Amino acid sequence: MRYSPTLVDHFLNPRNAGLMREPDSVGENEYEGCGDLTRFFLRVRDGRAVEIRFQTYGCGPTIAAASMASELYRGRLVGDLCRLEAGEIERALEGLPDDRKHAADIAAGALRAAAFQYQARQG
């Protein structure tokens, strides 16, 4: 299998998938040249992302990366989310094949966008 057991688990059993009612912010990232798109919803309390949900359209690793990110960054400060890097998500998934590195990039970009939107709204 070219994917790790952790990735396969997140693909088959995505955590926190689906819409969020009245989120505090929404961020989206579409990969250029690829149809893949991920959208994150954040609920923020005391500056921390207490709930993260996502929707995604993409191949298996893209779904798994969004699911992983939704768990990995829950409870973290929004300011930290603005600086998150795709490599962290990739490591948590126990690696991605070279031709699927974009899966972590899409998730990272979308989650950063949600964090930036929250901060922009806070002024």
Partner 1 sequence: MSRRVYLDHNASTPVHPEVLAAMLPYFAEVYGNPSSIHAFGREAREGMDLARERVASFLKVSSQEIVFTSGGTESDNFAVKGLAWARGKGHLITSQVEHHAVIRACRALEAQGFDLTCVGVDEFGMVDPDDVRRAIRPDTVAISIMHANSEVGTIQPIEAIGRIAREHGIPLHVDAVQTFGKLPLDVDALGIDALSFSAHKIYGPKGVAGLFIRKGSKMVAVQHGGEHERRRRAGTENVAGIVGLGKAVEIRARDMHTEAERVTALRDRLWDGVRSRVPEVRLSGHPGHRLPGTASFLFRHVESESIVLGLDLKGIGVSAGSACTSGNVEPSHVLVAMGVPLEWAMGAVRCSLGRSTSAEDIDYVIECVEPLVRKLRQAMPVGVV
- Pick 33 or 123: Cβ nearer partner 1: 33
With contact defined as beta carbons under 8 Å apart, do 95 and 61 qualify?
Answer: no
Q: Is 77 helix (H, G, I), strand (E, B) or coil?
A: strand
Give the position of tokens 């964090």.
115
Distance CA 111, CA 38 (A): 9
Report, in Å, the least distance between residue 8 CB and partner 1. Answer: 6
Minimum Å distance from CB 50 to partner 1? 21
Please give the residue ranges that form the binding site for partner 1 (CB under 8 A). Answer: 3, 8, 11-12, 14, 17-18, 31-37, 39, 54-60, 62-63, 66, 98-99, 101-102, 105
